[in-house]
Amino acid sequence: DAGVIQSPRHEVTEMGQEVTLRCKPISGHNSLFWYRQTMMRGLELLIYFNNNVPIDDSGMPEDRFSAKMPNASFSTLKIQPSEPRDSAVYFCASGTSLGGGSYGYTFGSGTRLTVV
Amino acid sequence: AQSVTQLGSHVSVSEGALVLLRCNYSSSVPPYLFWYVQYPNQGLQLLLKYTSAATLVKGINGFEAEFKKSETSFHLTKPSAHMSDAAEYFCAVSDGYKYIFGTGTRLKVLA
């Protein structure tokens, strides 16, 4: 199993540009999560999909952020327009149920986004 | 609401010495607890998880953690540190589908 695959690994863009981050979850995992990691705020859950349906997007910072999961093997996180404060590492994770409402996650290697 | 506290943002140990990374949790229900490791410029890798089975949980790379309900703790240990253990370690508690992560502990291993 190749694990959770994210692309690109690094992205440098100018303020105001659109940025699209991509994620391929592990086959058979029915849950997908996007997290953001910054020094100031640590790891924050942005959005959670279950069976390709967005269940909780309360962590999405603002309308500039959007996420889609058109099928079980692909998800995108888009920022339009991007701002310097969006600079962070964005992680995708896919998961399976552990029972009791909890999930076991496998994380991708992340996309380091720098907005200049 | 669930939460975790990691005591010590930086820990230094000598190679071969005991590693002890502290995590205390707060949970209103029996928790699921996790330790993850993050090497530089990489994602988070699961070290071990507690899911209400055995209280002593063994993970990868020689790490283990003990769930102590009376102390609300889930400390991570390794008997003998290797240089390759230098990384950042995160404790997390499951809040349904969400993980609540601690702020992380950066482990430095001294030669």
Is the CB of residue B32 less than 8 Å away from at least one CB of chain A? Answer: yes
Interval A26-54 mean pLDDT: 93
C-beta of residue A115 within 8 angstroms of C-beta of residue A13 = yes
Name which residue leads in pLDDT, A103 or A41: A41
pLDDT mean over A39-68: 93
Q: Which residues of chain B lie closer than 8 angstroms to A93, CB-CB? A: 44
Average pLDDT over residues B72-94: 96
Q: How far apart are CA B84 and CA B19, in angstroms?
A: 13
CB contacts < 8 A (A, B): 55
Per-residue pLDDT at A96 exceeds 90:
no
Q: Is the dihedral of CA A76, A82, A86, A89 positive or negative?
A: positive
CB spacing of A102 vs B43 below 8 angstroms: no
Q: In chain B, which residue's Cα lies nearest the Cα of A36? A: B43
Residue B6 confidence class, pLDDT cut points 50, 70, 90? very high
Q: What percent of chain B has pLDDT over 70?
A: 100
Instruction: Check CB contact under 8 Å for B96 and A101.
Output: yes
B46/A1 Cα distance (integer angstroms): 16
Q: How many CB atoms lie within 10 A of CB A54?
A: 16
CA distance B18 to chain A (A): 27
Residue B77: the pLDDT is 98
Q: Flag the least confident range among A17-31, A83-97, B92-106.
A: B92-106
Q: What is the pLDDT of residue A16?
A: 97
What confidence score (pLDDT) does residue A1 get?
66
If you average pLDDT over every residue of chain A, what do you get?
93
3-state secondary structure A31-66: EEEEEEEECCCEEEEEEEEECCEEEECCCCCCCCEE
pLDDT at B42: 86
pLDDT at B78: 98
What's the pLDDT score for residue B52?
Answer: 78
- On the question of pLDDT at A100 being above 80, the answer is no
- The per-residue pLDDT for range B11-62, each reduced to its tens digit, is 999 999 999 999 999 987 778 999 999 998 888 999 999 987 788 999 999 9
Q: Which of A43, A103, A108 sits opposite B94 (nearest CB)?
A: A103
Question: Is omega for the bond preceding A8 within 30 degrees of 0, making it cis?
Answer: yes
